[in-house]
Chains A and B, each alone.
Chain A
């Protein structure tokens, strides 16, 4: 509905732009003749030439951004067609206009601009927000696909094309084997820009995502090496290539890739070090991140190493320390700026891809070549993926299923990198450069537009095919969902993501050495102290929250009086959440979510007799909590924070906490009960431990010095808790007794809390409840309980023990506020 009104203003916008653009080429011809013949002093003059270059650049950026607005005016279109495809089409149109106006292709995507200005932000964005744990956990797989897969693709494509050429199908071309291999190497690589653009639309499970994404980033080294090697071979001439050169080529691969990574790591180190000292220049902190990362890119480029690898690893490695060191506002600034640059660059790239295509001078068409290229890259990619997956599945914990393989093969898009590389070719050396250019353009367009368009329906069709078409019963829905929850809980308990020797070693090393150098001292201290004290704070925090809430009756939120229209579900469209659910997860369900809706519609139409039943089904469908696999949203170029899922987590968390507190309360009151009390008491303690394990982001694993080792790092929780726990972390309590702080080697292991149920110890009051301490409820509690710090005397005493807890109520402002560690949407 909103789309209908849009075309009017949208067309107007575009028209205005086009006119402006049309005027540009003319304008360029206009010479300033202002001061020419003796005209005296000119009051106003048209100094186009003066501002030409920056003006054009700014205007193109503006056009691209306006186009984005334009597209999103119509939701229907963007849900079907990926944005990249729309941008390419727009580029074609604009290119056509420019061409029609001036008959020269004035604007193209030049490799310089692409490689120096457009690609770095995108790759930096990818590296900075990379879910590190997932990435390194799957590094072997990623490397295999990136290296072996790309080499396979390049070799097979090049050789097959050569074979076909030899057979004469392509007609007469001035190419040799090396030219084909060169072409193969640049067309083989999966493109990070395009892949992400499409995967944003199709939500896949995180393992699949990281594999394809990681592959697209890491295959740059291979592409660079192959491209350079074959280009120099072509320059030398086919017959002068010796074995030594081949060996040199292989060696250069290792040098390029490892060298690039090293450069990136070095610059990451520098960046972290610099941010450690920026306390007094907070305002320019974000600048450092960008400048130093960009320098890593340029340095690597200068040394002819893999620049993409350098900037990727710079982002990956500096994440943690930079986020710990810089202020919150700077972190936000960095996040937003990076996303803006990346998103903008991507938009411009796709648009210019379209524009550059409209340049008849470069066009040379050869049907066989083009068609065969398309066929070969698809087929060989599929074969390559299948073979490698077969090998990998023997070593992987989490297997890659058929549907994953299909998505991987089909999602191997080529993009602007291939185009830029092909444009770089020298026509003198590669005689058929134009043919290559046109073919590359066709391939890129095909993959981005066609494959991008069809991947979502394909996935859904595959999923739908596997589900059984029958009416889902209430029981199945409910229990099915319950099983999902059970399964994710068991996965968490059994440590599916798992306990990794290497990772532990790394985090030990990191804590002992790296963090000392790279992290600001205050960040280190707060991290340590937090780990010791936080769990206690959280319990007090929880107590005060619950107490206040109960006093005000606001904790009846758990079963709140109904709001109206809860069952007025819109039956007309399938809910977007069901449509976008993850691929593999949905495939696991027998009763597919999409089918559910359609069947519900059917049901409704058929039998109105039981409207209540319908309502029941839909309420259940709508309000059942989603299990973890379904809603975890990983990396996204265009979105910054996960949205609704925090709410769900908050609710469940509150509920759990409340239950535990209640049982704890009853335990303390009924202190004469034996085992049960001990059980509950320990549960309370466990809850505190559990709470302390949640905030992580920058909280690494504990050292064995402290008795309680928090090994469980759940990065997935980070974004969910960041908001609320951030406040909780943000403060230090003055806990004066013996069981806390970094000093005590036993950490929390006060005999009261010892796991052995020695019931006599229960009579001792837990230290954090002893009088004489000043405890301040965390900021989180303060935020959610609408009372100011000064008003805490209003809190009803929460009688947990015979001793009064009045001290608990004397709230002072917190003494020190170590910075909050707002974990990002990255998954460390």
Chain B
């Protein structure tokens, strides 16, 4: 366990890591518990065995987000890195933060970026209408027809799209959600 804290990637921005000490310990125990065969890393199936994810419409995508770039193994720093996005945003004075340091993972932008990446499967930096449609399909019940879905997807893209390229870039995405309380919606208290 001692080595974990010094492992690369855990020490996040500055002296305060991506998550607090206590949370880190909890997450480590969780990591160990999920790691079936004590391999030391997690594979997709370890995450897939969490039953609740099977009934979560976005479950598969979220699992994929833990394995970026075709990785097959998820080590503990990577695990923490993803979860660190969901740490509640500190109410501390942002002016204290050193502007040269990378933005903390749980900033509003990074939370949104995480969500954006869930939509943008081909990583082109935009959510095309097709990708929006795919997400919609996942999230809606079976009674909705294809035409309705397409029209919803069209409207959603239209609403957010400002430069008229038929796709939603990250900035447009952010702008469309500027009034939403992302901090609350994408935070888990236990990660404080």
List residues of chain A with CB under 8 Å of any chain B CB.
Answer: 397-399, 468, 470, 473-476, 478-496, 498-499, 557-563, 566-567, 588-591, 612-613, 616, 619-620, 623-625, 628, 648-649, 651-653, 655-657, 659, 675, 678-679, 682-683, 685-687, 689-694, 707-712, 714, 716-717, 720, 749, 755, 757
Contacts and interface: CB of A to CB of B under 8 A. Distances in A.
B53 to A, nearest CB: 6
A474 B156 contact: yes
B7 interface: no
Contacts of A495: 26, 30, 33-34
A484 B50 CA distance: 18
Interface of B: 26-27, 29-30, 33-34, 36-37, 39, 43-60, 62, 66, 70, 72, 83, 86, 115, 118, 135-148, 151-152, 155-156, 159-160, 176-177, 179-182, 184-186, 188-191
Nearest to B52: A492
Given A563-B143, A619-B152, A628-B52, 14 more contacts: A489-B59, A490-B62, A493-B62, A494-B86, A494-B188, A495-B30, A496-B190, A559-B137, A590-B184, A616-B155, A628-B56, A675-B70, A716-B52, A755-B45
A683 B148 CA distance: 32
B56 A478 contact: no
Main secondary structure of the interface of A (DSSP, over half): helix
Contacts of B147: 562
B185 A484 contact: yes
Contact of A693 (B49, B55, B182): B49
A619 B152 CA distance: 9
A489 B53 contact: yes
Contacts of A399: 189
A623 B143 contact: yes
Contact of A483 (B47, B115, B143, B156): B115
14 contacts: A397-B189, A398-B189, A398-B190, A485-B56, A495-B26, A562-B143, A562-B145, A588-B185, A619-B148, A675-B70, A678-B72, A682-B45, A689-B49, A690-B48
Contact of A557 (B59, B62, B142): B142
Contact of A651 (B30, B45, B142, B181): B142
Contact of B57 (A625, A709, A711): A625
Nearest to A399: B189
Contacts of A687: 45, 48
Contact of A560 (B50, B56, B142): B142
Nearest to A663: B60
Pick the most buried of A399, A492, A589, A757: most chain B CB atoms within 10 A of its CB.
A492
B62 A397 contact: no
A601 B49 CA distance: 43
Contacts of A499: 29-30, 33
A679 B44 contact: yes
Pick the most buried of A397, A478, A491, A717: most chain B CB atoms within 10 A of its CB: A478
Nearest to B55: A649
A481 B45 contact: no
A816 B48 CA distance: 30
Contacts of B46: 686
B78 to A, nearest CB: 13
A187 to B, nearest CB: 35
B107 to A, nearest CB: 16
Contact of A613 (B70, B138, B155, B190): B155
